[in-house]
């Protein structure tokens, strides 16, 4: 059994590794943002999505969960690349058509999944489970994650002629989502006592949850105060506060959703691409829930 000092040191090392990875990621985000090149944004987002899809199917294989990793990777990769290329070439004009693309690819992965099963005898529940788990991976990771790229072209272009009109909106979303994660981690580590959902994630506490809500407001309101013109699409302070709250709740749900997935499969981490954070899927799990909601909210609500 490790001593208290060793345990404390180990915890500090994990925090240091997580901080280092976070700084590297933000440096990359800053470099892409400063470039003001749509293709740079789309390339980084697509690469991260591809890594995440790969990790999902690696998890299913490692956990002994029946799936169709080759088919799932093929369809998911084709989808992410197609979305990026179409957005890069057409910009905002591609947004409406991408909803039809989503439906077409869902039909493709389901139909193809069942066609793959025709090659061999039915293996009880595993036969249907393979199709279901493969489809889940495509929708959960590839489709939901793709809304980050769509947000880049949602706002109206600013007067300064920015080539990526939604860059500030994407930065705002990432900040609110990641500050939620960071607030939960920091507050939970410092004063967390009461377990939130121990049967899903033993490390989550109600104190951490409160810190997550506070940090999300700091990020959402802070960025809006600094750049109200660039974030005018959010519709004003009332909507900013409400959206920050809703997105922080969804970020927590997204984080717990991956915990449910890991626990049901029986694996601890999705990968080790990012020291202290884990895999790429660990990085985007919350964004897969917050990005689609922000996208549809801004498209459908008269803010």
For residue range 270-289, list pLDDT tens digits in order.
766 666 667 889 889 999 99
Mean of pLDDT values over 204-210: 84
Confidence category of residue 17, pLDDT binned at 50, 70, 90: confident
Confidence of residue 48 (pLDDT cuts 50, 70, 90): very high
Burial of 157-193, coded b for 16+ CB within 10 Å and e otherwise, reads eeeeeeebbbbbbbbbbbbbbbbbbbbbbbbbbeebe
Q: What is the mean pLDDT of the chain?
A: 87
pLDDT tens track for 216-265:
999 999 999 999 988 999 989 999 999 999 999 999 999 899 888 888 88
As a whole number of angstroms, the distance between CA 30 and CA 27 comes to 5
β-sheet bridge partners, residue 205: 195
Domain definitions of the chain by residue range: 12-300
Reported confidence tier of residue 28, pLDDT bands at 50, 70, 90 = confident
pTM for the model: 0.88
Structure tokens belonging to residue 175: 């900040």
- pLDDT of residue 162 exceeding 70: no
If you average pLDDT over residues 54-63, what whole number do you get? 91
Q: What pLDDT, in 10s, does the model give residues 60-95?
A: 988 888 999 999 999 999 999 999 999 999 999 999
Distance in Å from the first CA to the final CA of the chain: 56
Q: What per-residue string of b and e applies to 120-139 under the rule 16 or more CB within 10 Å gives b?
A: eeeeeeebeebbebbbebbb
Long-range contacts, stretch 240-245, CB < 8 angstroms, 24+ apart:
241/217, 243/176, 243/294, 243/297, 244/176, 244/216, 244/217, 244/219, 244/220, 245/213, 245/216, 245/217
pLDDT, residue 161, reads 58
């Amino acid at each position: 059994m490790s001593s208290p000092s060793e345990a404390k040191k180990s915890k500090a090392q994990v925090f240091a590794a997580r901080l280092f990875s976070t700084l590297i990621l933000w440096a990359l985000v800053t470099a892409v943002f400063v470039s003001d090149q749509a293709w740079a944004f789309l390339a980084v987002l697509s690469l991260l999505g591809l890594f995440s899809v790969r990790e999902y199917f690696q998890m299913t294989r490692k956990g002994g969960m029946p799936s169709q990793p080759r088919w799932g990777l093929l369809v998911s990769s084709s989808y992410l690349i197609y979305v990026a290329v179409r957005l890069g070439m057409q910009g905002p004009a591609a947004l409406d058509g991408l909803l039809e693309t989503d439906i077409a690819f869902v039909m493709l992965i389901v139909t193809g999944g069942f066609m793959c099963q025709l090659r061999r005898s039915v293996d009880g529940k595993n036969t249907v489970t393979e199709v279901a788990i493969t489809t889940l991976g495509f929708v959960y990771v590839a489709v939901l994650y793709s809304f980050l790229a769509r947000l880049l072209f949602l706002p109206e272009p600013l007067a300064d002629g920015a080539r990526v009109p939604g860059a500030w909106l994407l930065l705002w979303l990432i900040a609110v989502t990641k500050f939620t994660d960071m607030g939960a981690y920091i507050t939970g580590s410092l004063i967390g006592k009461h377990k939130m959902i121990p049967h899903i994630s033993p490390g989550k506490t109600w104190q951490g949850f409160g810190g997550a809500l506070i940090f999300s407001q700091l990020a959402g309101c802070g960025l809006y105060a600094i750049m109200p013109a660039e974030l005018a699409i959010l519709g004003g302070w009332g909507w900013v506060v409400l959206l920050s709250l809703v997105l922080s709740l969804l970020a927590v749900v997204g984080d717990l959703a991956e915990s449910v997935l890991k626990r049901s499969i029986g694996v601890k981490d999705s990968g080790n691409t990012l020291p202290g954070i884990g895999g790429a899927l660990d990085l985007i799990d919350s964004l897969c829930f917050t990005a689609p909601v922000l996208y549809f909210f801004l498209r459908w609500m008269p803010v």
